[in-house]
């Protein structure tokens, strides 16, 4: 403890007295319980990931032996490693795109403070409060070949539409991303609304007097000033949906043909089969992907804020 | 000048915008939710393909009764409460204590600990090895194990929110109490903690939302051992192997969503302002 105060006294010089008092008035033991929980239940399992991914841990063996890179080789050679990484990344990008598009449109439509808009904003927050699993089941029913959506499309087009929305090996990943975005768009909307509120009426009024139309004021004034809201929304949607599970499990369970198999779906499935080491390996891949992407994503978005 | 132009604009916009807003609500929310409510009142035969056609007779009571019976919704409700309340209490209390130190001490070591502590906001928890760890600790499949896992997962969120907030509180407020001879513990509980209530309220809402609705981590840690609302919904929905019993699934969804929905409706304004204030700065 005295070593710490020595460090500050040399670094800060004049504030020596203050920092010495600081050690007594803000005791370090206040940190201990929270850090203990973080270390034991967050960091230790994460370190375990790096260890058990290199073993043959499974429910079929009583002992756990070192297995080198066997799990990685196996997951690479059967193609699931790269396929699931790619699917997870595509899913995350699509979710970030749709969630922000829907959220921004809702915010722009519901911007003014009227009674109807206040009701609509609250209504769009309902899916955010609901369980993602429940949302998944609702959409599974809506998107059945004889479901409501196809019924509505048939009525509009006059033809009998029987699209299998959740059974297409190319497009179902887009559909499940839209469902995920539907669940969270109310949150993005709220954050965009808060961002729009920070823009002063005078600036927009001035632009309008200069002859700028709705699109002109949006593009040159409101869009750039929304940058902090965009940073927050894109980063949380992108990084959050990489850890996605519920919506996909409730709608496709990774199918058809594994084309919506997110990393977490694989982890859950192989864990259920007792292949713990393979599940751990995929869990480690998810950790590495998020860790590698998190810092550049946040930095790029922050930099964009500064430029504007 | 300003008044007249905005008044003109308002008159021009008025008829179109509310109609657009109402249409959006009906198409994007009204249709799915109407389907859920109508189907929850049907018999299994009528509910095979959920749609908006009204049932020949309403079966809400029978379906809700079956959900209570087969879906074990009451044990699930209390299981969810049993896990959520202690988890939230632990992260709020211990997280605030740590945040106070992390916000006030400015050494390099402390800022390193802070960076490490908030990294859990983006990094995904190691869900498989956490089960192994819980087995070694003898906590596998127990409520205590689940509480510890949630506490470890959401501690970062609390520390991030609260540390940011404490930095905006002037240190002079503590100084006065300290000169009167108050111990650090008293300064924290009497001066700092009361000031934190708006941030803690926001953090509570967010974390309750996550824990109440979580099924992924619950499946790994307590799946098959304990009842929670999402776990039992998963069971109800997975049990009909060939034909899904949509009437029961949707009856379950209505009942399990009610507690959070009612809370949201009652505290609407606070929740919305709390969540938005943290995000945009």
For each of the domains in chain A, give its residue range(s) and CATH number, in order of start.
1-52 (no CATH), 71-307 (1.10.3720.10)
Does the pLDDT of residue A1 top 70, yes or no? no
Tell me the C-alpha to C-alpha distance, in Å, between residue B50 and each of A142, A149, B35, B230: 7, 11, 7, 21
Based on C-alpha coordinates, what's the Rg of chain B? 24
Does the pLDDT of residue A252 top 50, yes or no? yes
Average the pLDDT over each of A3-12, A237-246, A263-272, B142-151 and give the range with the smallest value.
A3-12
The residue among A141 and B242 whose pLDDT is bigger is A141
Does the pLDDT of residue A254 top 60, yes or no? yes
Q: Residues of A with CB below 8 A from B130's CB?
A: 41, 45
Q: Which bin fits A163, alpha (ψ -120 to 50), beta or left (φ > 0)?
A: beta
Block mean pLDDT (10 aa), chain B, length 281: 50 73 93 94 85 87 90 93 97 96 91 90 93 94 96 94 90 87 89 90 90 95 92 87 79 93 86 69 47
B253 contact A CB<8A: yes
Residue B1's pLDDT is 44
- List the single residue in A with minimal CA-CA distance to B219: A268
Residue B13's pLDDT is 52
Residue of A123, A147, A245 lying closest to B25 (CB–CB): A123
Contact yes or no for B31 and A148 at CB 8 A: yes
Nearest to A282 by CA among A294, A295, A271: A271
- List the single residue in A with minimal CA-CA distance to B127: A283
> What is chain A's mean pLDDT, rounded?
87
- Asked if B216 and A246 touch (Cβ cutoff 8 Å), the reply is yes
3-class SS at B73? helix
Does the pLDDT of residue A55 top 80, yes or no? yes
Nearest to A132 by CA among B234, B166, B189: B234
Does the pLDDT of residue A20 top 50, yes or no? no
- Give me the mean pLDDT over the A81-108 stretch: 96
Q: Residues of B with CB below 8 A from A7's CB?
A: 107-109
**B81 vs chain A: nearest CA distance in angstroms?**
15
Q: For domain B81-225, which architecture applies?
A: Orthogonal Bundle (1.10)
Contact yes or no for B21 and A40 at CB 8 A: no
The residue among A130 and A15 whose pLDDT is bigger is A130
Condensed to tens digits (0 to 9), the pLDDT of residues A276-291 reads 999 999 999 999 999 9
Contact yes or no for B6 and A205 at CB 8 A: yes
How many other CB atoms are there within 10 angstroms of residue A37's CB atom? Answer: 21
Residue of A7, A114, A245 lying closest to B216 (CB–CB): A245
Contact yes or no for A138 and B20 at CB 8 A: no
Every domain of chain B and the residues it spans:
1-70+240-281, 81-225
Residue B14's pLDDT is 59
Residue of A42, A46, A239 lying closest to B122 (CB–CB): A239
**B85 vs chain A: nearest CA distance in angstroms?**
17
Nearest to B83 by CA among B196, B218, B190: B218
Does the pLDDT of residue A182 top 60, yes or no? yes
Q: What is the DSSP string of A7-49?
A: HHHHHHGGGHHHHHHHHHHS-GGGGHHHHHHHIIIIIHHHHHH
Does the pLDDT of residue A15 top 60, yes or no? no
Residue A7's pLDDT is 39
Its pTM surpasses 0.90: no
Going by pLDDT thresholds of 50, 70 and 90, the confidence category of residue A64 is confident
Residue B150's pLDDT is 97
**A2 vs chain B: nearest CA distance in angstroms?**
12
Does the pLDDT of residue A12 top 70, yes or no? no
Residue of B101, B128, B261 lying closest to A279 (CB–CB): B128
Residue A19's pLDDT is 45
Residue A77's pLDDT is 92
Does the pLDDT of residue A233 top 80, yes or no? yes
Contact yes or no for B133 and A117 at CB 8 A: no
- Give me the mean pLDDT over the A68-84 stretch: 91
Residue A17's pLDDT is 43
- Measure the CA–CA gap between B98 and B96, rounded to whole angstroms: 5
Q: Complex ipTM, two decimals?
A: 0.89
Token pair listed for A60: 């079929």
Across the A/B interface, how many CB contacts are shorter than 8 Å? Answer: 267
Nearest to B146 by CA among B130, B124, B126, B128: B130
């Amino acid at each position: 403890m005295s070593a710490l105060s020595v460090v500050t006294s040399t670094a800060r010089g004049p504030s020596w007295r203050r920092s010495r008092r600081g050690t007594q008035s803000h005791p370090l033991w206040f940190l201990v319980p929270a850090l203990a929980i973080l270390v034991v239940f967050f960091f230790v399992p994460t370190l375990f990931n790096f260890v058990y991914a290199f073993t043959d841990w499974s429910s079929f063996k009583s002992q756990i032996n070192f297995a080198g890179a066997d799990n990685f080789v196996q997951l690479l050679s059967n193609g699931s490693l790269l396929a699931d990484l790619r699917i997870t990344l595509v899913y995350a990008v699509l979710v970030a795109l749709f969630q922000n598009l829907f959220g921004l449109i809702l915010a722009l439509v519901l911007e003014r403070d009227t009674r109807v808009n206040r009701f609509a904003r609250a209504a769009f927050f309902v899916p955010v409060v609901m369980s993602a699993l429940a949302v998944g089941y609702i959409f599974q029913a809506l998107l059945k070949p004889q479901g409501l959506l196809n019924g509505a499309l048939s009525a509009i087009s006059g033809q009998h539409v029987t699209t299998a929305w959740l059974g297409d090996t190319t497009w179902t990943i887009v559909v499940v991303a839209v469902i995920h975005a539907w669940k969270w768009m109310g949150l993005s909307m709220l954050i965009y609304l808060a961002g729009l509120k920070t823009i002063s009426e005078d600036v927009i009024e001035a632009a309008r007097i200069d002859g700028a139309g709705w699109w002109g004021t949006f593009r040159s004034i409101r869009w750039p000033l929304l940058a902090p809201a965009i940073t927050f929304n894109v980063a949380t949607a992108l990084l959050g949906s990489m850890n996605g599970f519920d919506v996909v499990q409730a709608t496709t369970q990774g199918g058809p043909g594994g084309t919506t198999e997110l990393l977490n779906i694989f982890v859950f499935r192989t864990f259920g089969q007792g292949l713990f080491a393979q599940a751990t390996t995929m869990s480690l891949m998810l950790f590495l992907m998020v860790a590698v992407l998190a810092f550049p994503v946040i930095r790029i978005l922050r930099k964009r804020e500064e430029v504007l | 000048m300003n008044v007249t132009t905005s008044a003109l604009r308002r008159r021009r916009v008025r008829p179109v915008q509310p109609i657009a807003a109402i249409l959006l609500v009906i198409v994007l929310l009204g249709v799915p939710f109407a389907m859920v409510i109508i189907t929850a009142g049907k018999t299994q035969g009528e509910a095979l393909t959920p749609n908006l056609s009204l049932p020949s007779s309403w079966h809400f009571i029978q379906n809700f009764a079956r959900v209570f019976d087969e879906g074990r919704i009451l044990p699930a409700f209390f299981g969810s409460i049993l896990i959520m309340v202690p988890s939230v209490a632990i992260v709020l209390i211990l997280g605030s204590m740590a945040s106070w130190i992390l916000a006030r001490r400015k050494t390099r070591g402390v800022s390193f600990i802070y960076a490490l502590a908030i990294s859990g906001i983006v990094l995904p928890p190691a869900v498989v090895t956490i089960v192994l760890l819980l087995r070694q600790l003898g906590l596998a499949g127990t409520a205590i194990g689940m509480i510890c896992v949630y506490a470890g997962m959401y501690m970062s969120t609390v520390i991030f929110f609260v540390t940011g907030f404490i930095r905006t509180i002037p240190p002079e407020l503590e100084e006065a109490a300290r000169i009167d001879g108050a111990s650090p513990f008293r300064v924290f509980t009497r001066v700092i903690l009361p000031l934190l209530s708006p941030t803690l309220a926001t953090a509570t809402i967010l974390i309750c939302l996550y824990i109440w609705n979580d099924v992924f981590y619950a499946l790994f840690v307590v799946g098959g051992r304990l009842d929670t609302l999402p776990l039992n919904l998963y069971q109800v929905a997975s049990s009909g192997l060939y034909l899904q019993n949509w009437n029961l699934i949707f009856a379950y969804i209505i009942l399990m969503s009610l507690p959070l929905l009612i809370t949201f409706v009652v505290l609407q304004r606070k929740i919305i302002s709390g969540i938005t204030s943290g995000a945009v700065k």
